A and B are shown apart, each in its own frame.
Chain A
Amino acid sequence: MIGVAVALVIWLALVPLVFLLWQSFLTPQTAAAPAQFTLDNFRTAYLNSDNARLFINSLQFAVGAAALSLVVGTTLAWMNERTNTPFKTLFFALAIIPLVIPGILFTVSWILLGSPKIGLINLGLQKLFDTDTVFVNVYTMAGMIWVDGLHYSPVAFLLMTAAFRSMDPALEEQAAMSGASVPQIARRITLPLAWPAALGALLILFVRAIESFEVPALLGLPVGIHVYTSSIYQAIHQYPSEVGLAAAYAVTLLLITSLGIYAQSRLSSQGGRFSTITGKGFRPRTIDLGRWRYLTATIFIVYFIVIVLLPFLVLVWSSLQKFYSAPSWAALRRVSLDSYRAVLDYPQFANTVWNSVVLALGSATAVMLVSAVIAWIVVRTKVPGRWVLDNLASLPLVFPGLVLGLAIMVCYLYIDIGVYGTLWIMFIAYVTRFLPYGMRYSSAAMLQIHKELEESAAMSGASWSMTFRRVVLPLLKPGLLAGFIYVMIVSIRELSSSILLYSPGTEVVSIMIWELWQNGQYVELSALGVMLIVALFVLVMLAQLVGRRFGIAET
């Protein structure tokens, strides 16, 4: 049992990595010449004069987006957790919604809003001031940072909310009793205390931003702003494709993400440094902002408009048109549902949706089953070297989606077991990529089950498999179910691995959106996007319901 788990995890997490490294030292294979060992790929990747630009662009983009997310997320988390801003419970629910919107749709909707030619913000302002000036342009580094940073600000919001919640409010109340004003408390107590958590969040957001594919591909590539992810994509999709060069970029990217993840885990293992004795069960208290609370409420509303309402409404608007056009009375008269009909009549539509559903269900089931067994081994047994298993199962965290896609592509090109070009290769990619998420849910659920519950089953005469099936699994069920739904949601949204692995006939919904974008079919894309967002939203509601029913904390 344990041997099988170890072998499976090694196969999923390590083998593609080895192939990726190997590939990065090979010349392109052609009919005329077999692949040969070379250092050219790295020479091109590192010594090319453009390389410095690439490195700086990537860092600039990732640091900028991470910092923007953190500032926005921390401000919102502080207002939500620590002040008496009105309607804040409602805001908490609303602030998580953007996580549901897939990155590609969020990016597309911001193109519709902020493109210099067709962007609604520019058109509106130009009409208002009667000029031709371009007010905003998302096709810039700043635009890329803005879109990506905003899209992931809810992640920062959730991370910082957790940080603020674990802080004893008496620390701030004591400062008030000592005579400190609200700004003094925020500057001298709250911020220094939240600093380690903020640094950890910044690293997580940085790794996530440097892995980001949708924004650099849609906003950066057309105007020649390259980062690692978009360069990998370009190296593969040019003719002849340069898999070796892509692999060399991927290895570089992998180094950066590994460093980030390593630093983050070092930081969180020191997290106990700031923990002090805390009183039992405190009721969370909030700072009275007085009249300023209307300002904070306004900030929430503006945030919600910018991050949810505007992007969604612009998609809805464009989906109701025959040809994309800016809102006007004339356009309003042309409103129709034709684009929805067109999408539904699309020849591959049924097959694409079917692929997405099968992949989401299949990978969610596989991830939760595998992670439950691994979590049991790691948490419950005393098998020597179980920490290796734990680390291996979390290893895919350092793989950017595009890098994982590339590694798996290379791997199954060489090991011909008939999965290349089928849904199976995407299934393998999804399971590998989302195994760490499944592990988080499974270990958390496993840690809550007291060991004596299992021991008493053993004392009653149950075998190991009987105990696992009759005692452990039923108790794990709520946690596993929450993880299952989460993996389903991220599977349906997945684009960056799929984009290197799909072939005709195995497209998924996110790929279909990508192709519609490439073909310039904006209205059909919008219709499909609106339907997808609604479907994902229903899934999230379901997850919340399950969570509340079984009393699991949100993660």
Chain B
Amino acid sequence: MGLLSVRSLFTEYANEGGSAVKAVQNVSFEVPEGKLFTLLGPSGCGKTTTLRSIAGLERPSAGEIEVAGRLVYSSERGIFVSPNKRNFGMVFQSYAIWPHMNVFQNAAFPLQVRGLATAEVRERVMRVLHAVALEDLLERDATKLSGGQQQRLALARALVMEPQILLLDEPLSNLDAKLRDRMRSELKRLQRDLNLTTVYVTHDQNEALALSHEIAVMNEGRIVQIGTPRQIYEQPADRFVADFVGTTNFIGGTVTALAGGRCVVSSAMGEIKAHASEGVRKDAAVIVSVRPEDVELSEAPPAADDGDNVCKGTIDAKDFLGDYLDFRVKVGDVVLSAKAHPSLRTPTGDSIYLRMKADKCVVISHR
């Protein structure tokens, strides 16, 4: 059992017209101690509402939330612990740095409201500000901080009270691209060092894949798939996950043979040997998902093992993007996109060989 467990959470709120919006529906997950768990999905999918429900800033309509054996919310038993009694650290998307306080005052606030002695407050604040490299800016006005510094201060303020869990609401989305990459690795290092149980909300698949121990992909208020970053990317459970996480090719077809986790799909580009995910049956209409980087291109016929799909196509178009080439290759009636090393210089209109490993072709059943 995890340190944090969310069970059958439902949240509804009234919109401006007065009708109920089902923001979160039957969301359940567990986060083991010390792990970073990510809620990933497009805007409006319910990920932030789920996070705010854990924080206690939102009152769910049904379900249970338990942290380290302590129920903080239970609709059945009528338990709702107010946010200031939960002892969870949180970093908001806007950072919510109090503009009327300086760096030290911002970080000291959580300890001051707990009535700690001045000396202890000072010592703990200094320690946490040192950890985020802000110890030289103690007296700096909060409004005079750069975006990256504000983000680190927000993190320090969430950590200073030694929270049971840390909640992060898109903490990197207000930073520019280069800074975002740096803060991402710093955040990861800090989380791993402190062994802090963390729930992370983002719409950015790269952040989710890079940071998480486990990811829950959400869509329209529900969790669609929970898995490790590799599982989510390589074996998406449905079309939405495959499409939302990374880019992919979809090829429609029918399952003609099925044996031992492998199957054969008959499609407009011929037969495809593929990895069969759970629930795929013979004769069912399915789609095959294959990532562009798993479509290997070569001018000479490639060596084909037993599990490989090899076919011939024509180059429809190609774009040079610096570190790779983006090809569109026509096979029968299907156009596949493929990523290739820039050294491949085959001109548009020529024919080319494609090889796709069966393991990389994932069959997803139509829903």
Q: Give the B-binding residues of A (Cβ under 8 A).
A: 168, 170-171, 173-181, 184, 188-189, 192-193, 195, 273-280, 282, 285, 288
Provide the residues of chain B in CB contact with A179, threshold 8 Å.
84-85, 87, 110, 113-114, 161
Is there an interface contact between B96 and A170, defined as CB atoms closer than 8 Å?
Answer: yes
A180 touches B84 (CB 8 A): yes
| A193-B98, A193-B99 known; A177+B143 contact, CB < 8 A | no
Partner of B99, one of A180, A188, A276, A280: A276
A276-B84 in contact (CB<8A): no
Q: Which of A184, A188, A276, A279 contacts B150 (CB 8 A)?
A: A276
Residue B89 at the A interface, CB < 8 A? yes
Does B356 count as interface, using CB distance less than 8 angstroms? no
Question: Which residues in A have their C-beta under 8 angstroms from that of B109?
Answer: 175, 178, 180, 188
- Closest residue of A by beta carbon distance from B80: A288
Contact among A180, A189, A195, A279 with B93 in the assembled complex (CB-CB below 8 Å): A279
Q: B113: which of A171, A184, A276 is its contact (CB, 8 Å)?
A: A184
Scoring A178, A273, A279, A282 by chain B CB atoms within 10 A of each residue's CB, the highest score goes to A178
Residue B178 interfacial (CB < 8 Å): no
B84/A181 in contact, CB under 8 A? yes
Residue contacts A-B, CB under 8 angstroms, 6 given = A176-B57, A176-B84, A178-B109, A178-B161, A274-B143, A288-B82
Report the minimum CB–CB distance from B110 to chain A (whole Å). Answer: 4
- CB contact between B59 and one of A192, A279, A288 (< 8 Å): that residue: A288
CA distance A282 to B43 in the complex (A): 13
- Say how far A540's CB is from chain B's closest CB, in angstroms: 23
Shortest distance between the CB of A49 and any CB in chain B (Å)? 46
Q: Point out the residues of chain B lying under 8 angstroms from A288, CB to CB.
A: 59, 82
Interface string of B74-95 (1 = CB under 8 A from A): 0000000011111111101111
- Nearest to B143 among chain A residues (CB) is A276
Quick check: is B367 within 8 A (CB to CB) of the other chain? no
A192 to B100, CA, bound (A): 7
Task: Give the secondary structure class of B's interface.
Answer: loop
Cross-chain contact B157 with A176 (CB below 8 angstroms): no
B291 to chain A, nearest CB (A): 31
Chain B 55-66 near chain A by CB (<8 Å), digits 1 or 0: 111010000000
Given contacts A179-B87, A273-B143, contact A174 B113 (CB under 8 A): no
Min C-beta distance of B156 to chain A, whole Å: 12
The answer to whether B94 and A170 touch across the interface, beta carbons within 8 angstroms, is yes
Mark contacts of B189-229 with chain A using CB atoms, 8 A cut-off: 1 yes-contact digit, 0 otherwise.
00000000000000000000000000000000000000000
**How far is it, in angstroms, between the C-alpha of A285 and the C-alpha of B114 when the chains are bound?**
24
Are A275 and B99 within 8 A (Cβ)?
yes
Q: A170, A177, A179 — which one has the most chain B CB atoms within 10 A of its CB?
A: A177
B157: chain A residues at CB < 8 Å are 174, 178
Expressed in whole angstroms, the Cα–Cα distance for A464 and B85 within the complex equals 64
Chain A, residue nearest B174 (CB): A277
Whether the pair B92, A174 counts as a contact (CB closer than 8 A) is: yes
Let me know if B32 is at the binding interface, CB within 8 A. no
Decide: B96 and A173 in contact? CB cutoff 8 A: yes
B84 & A170 in contact (Cβ 8 Å cutoff)? no
Write the chain B residue with the least CB distance to A278: B94
A180 touches B113 (CB 8 A): yes
Q: Mark B142-178, 1 if CB is under 8 A from A, else 0.
A: 1100010010001001100100000100000010000
B84 touches A274 (CB 8 A): no
A285 surroundings in chain B (CB, below 8 A): 57
B110 partner residues in chain A, CB cutoff 8 A: 178-179
Q: Is the CB of B96 within 8 A of A176?
A: no
Residue of A nearest to B101 (CB): A192
**A171: B residues at CB distance < 8 A:** 96, 98
